[in-house]
Amino acid sequence: MKRIREQSGIGRPEMAKRLSVTQSALWKIEAGKTFPKRKTLDKFCEETRTPLARLYVEALEPTDFFVSE
């Protein structure tokens, strides 16, 4: 989410305000310490004009594509 927020040109304080969360809460979400509520994700996508699927795709790691035997 941080990368998308930054690409959208929205600072953390402004995004936190738009999402109705604290800056600390937004930092924790962006750092992967907590997972946002669905309504927060929906609002984030609306504010950044980003499809929800992009958040999930960008969260994937290369190791997610390998099957161990």
CATH (domain of 31): 1.10.260.40
37 domain residue, yes or no:
yes
The C-alpha atoms of residue 33 and residue 35 are separated, in whole angstroms, by 7
50 domain residue, yes or no:
yes
The C-alpha atoms of residue 44 and residue 19 are separated, in whole angstroms, by 7
67 domain residue, yes or no:
no
Q: Whole-prediction pTM value?
A: 0.82
Query: pLDDT truncated to tens, each residue of the chain (69 aa)?
Result: 999 999 999 999 999 999 999 999 999 999 989 999 999 999 999 999 999 999 888 888 777 777 766
What is the per-residue pLDDT for 57?
85
CB 25 within 8 A of CB 16: yes
**Total domains present in the chain:** 1
The C-alpha atoms of residue 59 and residue 69 are separated, in whole angstroms, by 24
